[in-house]
């Protein structure tokens, strides 16, 4: 990474920006000099984060966005360009999980997970690519370690995140000639509201669940800010020859 503000002058769009990893990425991008459009289905949460960024001296706006709807994705891209004049980076961070095997899953839960985690990457990327071609920008998606190696009772989540990994590689091939880089990050268990939701869904106490999640070489779970560190790197000029990669950030869990 070069310079003190690695994303100075960039315009970024971050989905799922109202909480968790998306929130950490939006805040960190703003500190790195980017203007940030925060997109989230929870409009109040996204607005709160945008206000926090502005109070800290950054540039940010928010927009209510259901990332599973093509029209919402197109509106988010349009609003980012209208507000800040261009679009350089899209971060697909919106995500949900349902802990269940295929025999336990309802069709509605399968559809919801695939829509938010995988279909959204297609829709938002499709809407953004014409703008990113102009700026020679990049797409960064938040996949998961469970998109590379499966885990128990998470069939839809694993399938959706594996789709993100391969969609990343396919888009990198298709849009590299346009000067667009496409990468994803595969986090391990990270201290977010969604991770604690998993404890409830699996019927395990939160203390026991988090202790089990920390059983990896670095002996702890990740922090959203650590995923944001990787996001800054992959979205900056320090990664200008990196595309089609799935960067594992998991404290050695997959090792």
* The residue to which tokens 């990332």 are assigned: 67
CA–CA distance, 124 with 31 (Å, rounded to integer): 24
* 8 Å CB contact between 77 and 1: no
| Helices marked H in the chain | 20-31, 43-55, 70-84, 107-114, 120-135, 155-175, 193-202, 206-213, 224-235
Active site residues: 157
Total residues found in the chain within this entry? 255
Q: How far is CA 143 from CA 81, 103, 227, 250, in A?
A: 26, 24, 11, 12
CA–CA distance, 239 with 173 (Å, rounded to integer): 17
Other Cβ atoms within 10 Å of 174 Cβ, number: 12
Tokens of 32: 């790195």
* 8 Å CB contact between 36 and 58: yes
Burial of residue 79 (CB within 10 Å: 0-12, 13-18, 19+) is middle
* 8 Å CB contact between 139 and 182: yes
């Amino acid at each position: 990474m070069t310079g003190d503000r690695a994303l100075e002058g960039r315009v970024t769009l971050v989905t799922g920006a109202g909480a968790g990893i998306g929130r950490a990425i939006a805040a960190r991008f703003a500190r790195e000099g980017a203007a940030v459009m925060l997109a989230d289905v929870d409009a109040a949460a996204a607005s709160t984060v945008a206000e926090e960024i502005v109070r800290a001296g950054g540039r940010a706006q928010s927009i209510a966005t259901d990332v599973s709807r093509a029209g919402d994705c197109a509106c988010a891209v349009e609003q980012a360009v209208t507000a800040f004049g261009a679009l350089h980076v899209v971060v697909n961070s919106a995500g949900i999980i349902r802990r269940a095997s295929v025999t336990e899953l309802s069709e509605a839960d399968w559809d919801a997970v695939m829509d938010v985690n995988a279909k959204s990457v297609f829709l938002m990327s499709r809407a953004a690519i014409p703008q990113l071609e102009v700026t020679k920008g990049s797409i960064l998606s938040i996949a998961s370690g469970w998109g590379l190696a499966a885990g128990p009772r998470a069939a839809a989540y694993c399938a959706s995140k594996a789709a993100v990994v391969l969609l990343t590689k396919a888009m990198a091939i298709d849009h590299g000639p346009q000067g667009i880089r496409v990468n994803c990050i595969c986090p391990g268990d990270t201290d977010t509201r969604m991770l604690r939701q998993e404890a409830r869904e699996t019927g395990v106490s939160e203390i026991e669940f988090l202790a089990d999640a920390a059983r990896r070489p670095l002996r702890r779970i990740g922090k959203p800010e650590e995923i944001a560190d990787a996001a800054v790197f992959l979205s900056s000029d320090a990664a200008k020859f990196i595309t089609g990669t799935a960067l594992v950030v998991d404290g050695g869990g997959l090792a």
